[in-house]
Amino acid sequence: MISNTIDQEIKKAMLAKNDAQLRGLRAIKAALLLAKTEKGASEEITEETELKILQKLIKQRRESADIYKSQNRVDLYQVEEEEIEVINQFLPKQLDRAEVEAIIADVVKQSGATSVKDMGKVMGMANKALAGKADGKLIAEIVKEKLG
């Protein structure tokens, strides 16, 4: 479980006085604690839920980084990029486009989808098969190509 590792990594980052690492780790810890204390949440969160939380954190930081870059705020852009790097350490290796296309082709075959009308069914299966291994935008883009 990621939450167990985070506390140890925070201690290491504090001892090493690594501010970038510490910021990213604290963001992860805060998000996981928030998920644990949400209304209706069970006592323990699953590893799959942890991966979704980490992906959400990366997505938020990428969006912020893009805004900062467009406004020529290199200082703030750099902070976001450093945090993305830290959070990525706890995600499984991301698949490249060719690997994602191959998996989605299999999913389309299994589902029997023939047109864009079947996109919802295919997206559900593809997201399950690629959980934590590929970006949602990339998955949606490839599914559209395959069904379109």
pLDDT at 119: 87
* Rounded Cα–Cα distance for residues 17 and 90 (Å): 20
Residue located via tokens 């938020």: 60
Q: What is the pLDDT of residues 79-93, one digit of tens each?
A: 999 999 999 999 888
* Rounded Cα–Cα distance for residues 127 and 142 (Å): 12
The predicted model scores a pTM of 0.76
Angle between helices 47-70 and 2-16 (to 10 degrees): 50
